């Protein structure tokens, strides 16, 4: 067994061991050989300018003296050795500079200690990443990490541990401690002595490279990047202004330095995706863009220019009270008389689509009203759940005409960023689909549900709400599963009372022919298509919400009999009272519907919503007197067999309003509304 003086009998004059008064240190012979190799390696690096590859270069092997077997056996029985059991610390079978002392573990003795002092590598490790690296497929690449997996693990563990538990000063002490252990176990690998250097080597600093500081002016909203030169005063020229904003951006701190008055940080890993276009990938919310921005701004402008005065609002309120608004749209009640103040998006939606085409006709100037109709027509197309590319292009043309005419009819200040975004809605719908998939009406309504949710005002609300939400969702699934497995439709009314909202997914009791969506749509758009009334209904209509069976009135029955004779071209159909005289007769027993869901559009029967049902339009009657709306007689035509209308013929739902012309003639205005079709 060798003694301690025999182990440390070699003088080492390397840069690390010469930092004392004698200018050298006594180390083990093998450690001195390692230090000589390191010195030669550093010389090669300087010649080849490869300082970042110091742990990856191989040099010629030199003979290594071993100690007595007892020391080697003692080393392999230690539990705190940094060597992983069953794995060599060498990357290859060849002896390398980084770990040649342990690549042949059966012949080496790693139990000796040394007075080795590691070098400061903090400056070598502070390197900035360029933009190409940030946009690469691997933004967190670590070319400076050692190839040895154990060394990589040590570096990664230290930087993660330091970031989680240790402050910066403590991290330096931890790094020195790890380096000392690596020296004790004679590893040719050292961690950078500074925390920034270690973070750069492991790729940890790349995570925060995208953080930027911006200086912003809160009035005109111009943004300056702090890394660039920021002026002391804002140089942004507002639209229509003759001079710049010239507001102060910087202020003097207590230490006398110029600092930003308002600044913010920004960082997003999405910037690292080279294929991502953030402008194209940002969705414009149609709810805010169409219904909370432009309508209110125009109304404020009309009031300011006195295009609409107090007397006009009173007259419009009186007309609005005659408008019959269908379900799904909000009635404005007294909002119009109060100059449309404090309205939410769903109320503005009703104003744009239902009320404004009627009420603004006799109030606004002709050119301004016509331009307003361009906006209404665009909204009617854009808010449809199913929309074609041609309809998207048509809506874009309406919006483009609207914005261009606004610039001509009003001064430039009427134009806003929100109105500019109207012209980007076409790209949003092309990229992300119809607006029902992402507009914020559902989000806002869900916020209202959260606000009205009763709680015990204790902690844990999120968990309580999530449990309740999941249970409500699975209640509907449970009912659907029951109907699919048992086909017990008689239990459907009782089970639906126990669910918050239920939409069945199957048709358990009615067998019908295959439903074809194209044929169904053509029946409503082409009056030349023969429709008898027994054609398949869409799956959304089932199960039907039926009332109890009843008998038709004699007057209505006569019309139904005539209708069947016409569509079936069969004059042999007879009255039910004459059923014994012919094999073909029409029964007078019918079952009324409370409502029917046609591709997402719900049509209600008479008496289910107040005293009226849904008003529908089966065919357009063109008129040149009004833009966007139809002018009809004030009363409905007399009943006959043509009043029998199969649901397949329904074109869309309408709103109606009473109107008196300048000649005191009463008319009924029919306002067509966007048709909902979830295909």
**In whole angstroms, what is the distance from residue 458 CA to residue 507 CA?**
44
Q: Which one has a higher pLDDT value, 481 or 122?
A: 481
Nearest alpha carbon to residue 264 among 315, 336, 213, 305: 213
Whether residue 91 contacts residue 5, with contact meaning beta carbons closer than 8 Å, is answered with no
| Pair of tokens at residue 206 | 């790349």
Whether residue 576 contacts residue 585, with contact meaning beta carbons closer than 8 Å, is answered with yes
**In whole angstroms, what is the distance from residue 597 CA to residue 545 CA?**
9
H or E stretch at 562 = helix 554-568
**Averaged over 443-457, what is the pLDDT?**
76
Percent of the chain surpassing pLDDT 70 = 71
Q: How far apart are the first and last CA of the chain?
A: 88
Count of other CB atoms within 10 angstroms of residue 396: 21
Whether residue 429 contacts residue 280, with contact meaning beta carbons closer than 8 Å, is answered with no
Count of other CB atoms within 10 angstroms of residue 297: 16
Q: Is the pTM of this model over 0.85?
A: no
Whether omega before 418 lies within 30 degrees of 0, making that bond cis, reads no
**In whole angstroms, what is the distance from residue 504 CA to residue 508 CA?**
10
pLDDT band for 490, please (50, 70, 90 cuts): low
**Averaged over 624-635, what is the pLDDT?**
68
Whether residue 237 contacts residue 252, with contact meaning beta carbons closer than 8 Å, is answered with no
**In whole angstroms, what is the distance from residue 86 CA to residue 89 CA?**
10
The pLDDT of residue 479 is 67
The pLDDT of residue 508 is 43
Q: With 50 as the cut, is the pLDDT of residue 85 above it?
A: no
The pLDDT of residue 69 is 39
Residues in the chain: 679
Q: Which one has a higher pLDDT value, 577 or 497?
A: 577
**In whole angstroms, what is the distance from residue 321 CA to residue 329 CA?**
15
Q: With 60 as the cut, is the pLDDT of residue 65 above it?
A: no
Please, what's the b/e burial string for 372-391 (b: 16 or more CB within 10 A of its CB; e: otherwise)?
A: bbbbbbbbbbbbbbbbeeee
pLDDT band for 182, please (50, 70, 90 cuts): very high
The pLDDT of residue 298 is 93
Q: Which one has a higher pLDDT value, 139 or 154?
A: 154
pLDDT band for 416, please (50, 70, 90 cuts): confident
Q: CA 157, 158, 160, 164 torsion: positive or negative? A: positive
pLDDT digits (tens, 9 = 90+) for 341-381: 889 999 999 999 999 999 998 899 999 999 999 999 999 99
Q: Share the mean pLDDT of the chain.
A: 75
**Averaged over 485-492, what is the pLDDT?**
59
Torsion angle (degrees, nearest 10) of CA 548, 554, 555, 557: 60
């Amino acid at each position: 067994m060798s003694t301690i003086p025999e182990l440390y009998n070699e003088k080492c004059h390397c840069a690390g061991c010469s930092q004392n008064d004698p200018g050298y240190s006594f180390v083990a012979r093998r450690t001195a050989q390692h230090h000589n190799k390191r010195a030669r390696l550093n010389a090669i690096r300087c010649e080849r300018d490869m300082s970042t590859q110091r742990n990856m270069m191989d040099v010629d092997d030199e003979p290594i003296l071993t100690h007595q077997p007892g020391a080697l056996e003692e080393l392999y029985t230690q539990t705190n050795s940094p060597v992983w059991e069953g794995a060599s610390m060498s990357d290859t079978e060849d002896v390398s500079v980084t770990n040649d002392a342990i690549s042949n573990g059966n012949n080496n003795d790693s139990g000796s200690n040394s007075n080795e002092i590691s070098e400061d590598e903090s400056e070598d490790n502070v390197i900035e990443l360029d933009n190409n690296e940030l946009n690469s497929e691997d933004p967190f690449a670590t070319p400076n990490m050692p190839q040895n997996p154990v060394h990589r693990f040590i570096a990664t563990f230290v930087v993660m541990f330091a970031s989680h538990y240790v402050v910066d000063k403590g991290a330096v002490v931890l790094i020195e401690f790890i380096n000392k252990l690596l020296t004790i176990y004679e590893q040719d690998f050292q961690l950078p002595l500074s925390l920034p250097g270690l973070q750069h080597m492991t790729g940890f600093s790349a995570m925060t490279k995208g953080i930027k500081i911006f200086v912003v002016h809160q009035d005109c909203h111009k943004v300056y990047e702090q890394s660039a030169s920021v002026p002391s005063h804002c140089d942004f020229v507002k639209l229509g202004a003759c001079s710049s904003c010239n507001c102060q951006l910087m202020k003097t701190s207590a230490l006398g330095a110029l600092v930003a008055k308002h600044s913010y940080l920004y960082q997003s890993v999405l910037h690292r995706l080279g294929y991502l276009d953030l402008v194209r990938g940002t969705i414009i919310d149609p709810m805010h863009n169409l219904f909370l921005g432009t309508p209110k701004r125009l109304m404020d402008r009309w009031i300011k220019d006195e295009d609409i005065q107090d007397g006009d609002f009173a007259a419009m309120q009186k007309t609005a009270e005659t408008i019959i608004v269908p379900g799904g749209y909000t009635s404005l009640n007294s909002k119009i008389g109060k100059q449309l103040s404090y309205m939410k998006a769903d109320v503005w939606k009703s104003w744009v689509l239902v009320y404004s085409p009627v009420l603004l006709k006799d109030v606004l100037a002709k050119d301004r009203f016509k331009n307003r109709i361009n906006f209404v027509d665009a909204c009617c197309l854009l808010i449809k759940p199913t929309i074609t590319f041609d309809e998207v292009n048509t809506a874009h043309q309406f919006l483009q005409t609207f914005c261009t005419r606004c610039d001509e009819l009003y001064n430039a200040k009427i134009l806003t960023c929100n109105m500019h975004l109207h012209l980007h809605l076409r790209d949003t719908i092309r990229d992300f689909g119809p607006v029902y998939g992402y507009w914020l009406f559902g989000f806002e309504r869900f916020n209202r549900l959260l606000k009205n949710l009763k709680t015990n005002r204790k902690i844990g609300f999120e968990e309580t709400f999530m449990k309740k939400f999941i249970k409500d969702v699975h209640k509907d699934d449970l009912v659907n599963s029951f109907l699919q497995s048992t086909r017990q439709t008689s239990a459907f009314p009782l089970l639906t009372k126990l669910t918050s909202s239920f939409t069945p997914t199957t048709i358990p009791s009615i067998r019908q022919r295959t439903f074809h969506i194209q044929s169904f749509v053509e029946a409503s758009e082409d009056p030349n298509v023969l429709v008898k009334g027994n054609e398949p209904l869409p799956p959304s209509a089932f199960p039907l919400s039926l009332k109890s069976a009843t008998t038709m009135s004699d007057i209505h029955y006569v019309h139904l009999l005539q209708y069947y004779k016409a569509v079936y071209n069969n004059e042999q159909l007879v009255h039910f009272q004459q059923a014994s005289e012919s094999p073909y007769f029409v029964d007078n027993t019918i079952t009324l519907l409370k409502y029917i869901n046609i591709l997402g559009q719900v049509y209600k029967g008479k008496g289910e919503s107040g005293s009226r049902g849904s008003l529908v339009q089966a065919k357009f009657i063109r008129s040149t007197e009004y833009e966007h709306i139809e002018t009809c007689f004030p009363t409905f035509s007399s009943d006959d067999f043509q009043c029998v209308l199969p649901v397949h013929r329904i074109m869309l739902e309408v709103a109606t309003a009473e109107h008196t012309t300048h000649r005191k003639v009463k008319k009924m205005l029919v306002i067509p509304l966007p048709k909902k079709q979830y295909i």
